[in-house]
Amino acid sequence: MPIQKIDIEAFLAMADEHPVLDVRSPGEYKHARIPGAFSLPLFTDDERKVVGTTYKQQSREDAIKIGLDYFGPKMRRMVEEVEAIVSERQNESKTVLVHCWRGGMRSAGVAWLLDLYGFKVYTLAGGYKAYRNWVLQQFSKSYPFVVLGGYTGSGKTIVLKELQRKGETIIDLEQIACHKGSAFGALDMPVQPTQEMFDNLLATELRRVMRSNPDRIWLEDESQRIGLTNLPKAFWDNMRKASVYFLDVPFEVRLDHITGEYGRAKKEELVNAVIRIQKRLGGLDTKNAINFLLEDNHKEAFRVLLRYYDKYYNKALQAREHWNELVTKITCETVDAKTNAGLIQNLKVNIQN
């Protein structure tokens, strides 16, 4: 069967069943990739620079010759790597999907080798660049978003997970971003993805959840910025127009919850987090919060911070157009996820779109 070049929609559909081989350089792959793709670089980062420079300064033919010098010694290893991937995936059809940056010489070369060895090979027309265009298009689509709101410490994330256990469709933006959204959001979290990789992961999640054609998709209310990553503007604008179900949890209950959640963190990390927001927090509150932390009085430190975040969140909530029509408050006495998810689902008749 000859090598087939397919468009991005067909490529992603086949990627659900067959391994994707990214033949770009390790640096390109590390920066961002199609989620789930395997790295099978044709060139190292340095080799790619040499080939690219030769292409620009000399000729296409000279660049290909240098590329062949690099490619030749790697052929056996690359075939064996793909054999191992196919075997691990129990892919009896030996079907693989290959892409490079633009769907040019790198993917063509590797596809030729794998086809010669006996794999069924499909390449992506337009390469990773075509995939990125697809990613950006996903954010401009209309989605049946419903937003779970509430002041800091309301337990929104655990309620979101409980709603998922109860059969609701959710997208956990903080999980994708590897950040909990506040100045303390990076504590005990993995390194955040690059912005480009965050976009890729979010688009992949949107595609996944939309397969079931859900009536609604629950999201946690977020600022446009989550740590070092930003929600794509079109996506965030869509969120801002969605109905908000606001968990109205008493201040002291939230204070106890957030003190328990972050109070075990290292003192230095907590102080540094406060310093990061000192311009918005103000000099006096910054000083008081840090002093409380240094005295191991976490509750009073978080009392200062929670007042700041409440003010900040309330301002953002009311910045929505027609916010008073979009927001429904749900009175909660606790941060217990099962209890509050149950209160939300009791309103199901009101949130059918």
Nearest alpha-carbon partner for 274 in 296, 304, 313? 304
Count H helices, E strands: the chain? 19, 12
pTM for the complete prediction?
0.93
Q: Residue 217: in which H helix or E strand, if any?
A: strand 217-220
Q: List Cβ neighbours of 199 (8 Å cut-off, separation of 6 or more).
A: 32, 135, 136, 139, 232
Give 316's DSSP letter: H
124 DSSP β-pair partners = 6
pLDDT at 350 over 70: no
Dihedral angle sign, alpha carbons of residues 49, 52, 56, 61: positive
Q: Which two tokens stand for residue 334?
A: 């606790």
21 DSSP β-pair partners = 38, 98
Q: Distance of CA 199 to CAs 83, 107, 137, 146, 323, Å?
A: 31, 23, 11, 20, 27
Catalytic residue among 100, 226, 290, 301: 100
pLDDT tens, residue by residue, 59-109? 989 999 999 999 999 999 999 999 999 998 887 889 999 999 998 889 999
pLDDT tens, residue by residue, 249-294? 999 999 999 999 888 888 899 999 999 989 989 999 999 999 999 9
pLDDT at 220 over 60: yes
Count the Cβ atoms, other than its own, within 10 Å of residue 222.
Answer: 19
Residue spans of the domains in the chain: they are: 4-135, 141-351
* 100 among known catalytic residues: yes
Residue count (the chain): 353
Q: List Cβ neighbours of 222 (8 Å cut-off, separation of 6 or more).
A: 173, 174, 181, 231, 239
- The residue whose two tokens read 């009896």 is 92
pLDDT tens, residue by residue, 166-184? 999 999 999 999 998 888 8
Q: In the predicted model, what is the mean pLDDT of residues 98-122?
A: 95
Q: In the predicted model, what is the mean pLDDT of residues 113-118?
A: 96
Give the CATH number of domain 4-135: 3.40.250.10
The CATH number corresponding to 141-351 among 1.10.3470, 1.20.120, 3.40.50, 1.50.10 equals 3.40.50
The reported pLDDT for the residue numbered 149 is 95
Is residue 120 within 8 Å of 1, Cβ to Cβ?
A: yes
The reported pLDDT for the residue numbered 265 is 85
Give 74's DSSP letter: G
d(CA 287, CA 297): 14
d(CA 341, CA 47): 54
324 or 215: which leads in pLDDT: 215
Q: In which band, very low, low, confident or very high, does the pLDDT at 348 lie, cut at 50, 70 and 90?
A: low
Q: List Cβ neighbours of 234 (8 Å cut-off, separation of 6 or more).
A: 139, 140
CA angle 21, 23, 25 (to 5 degrees): 135
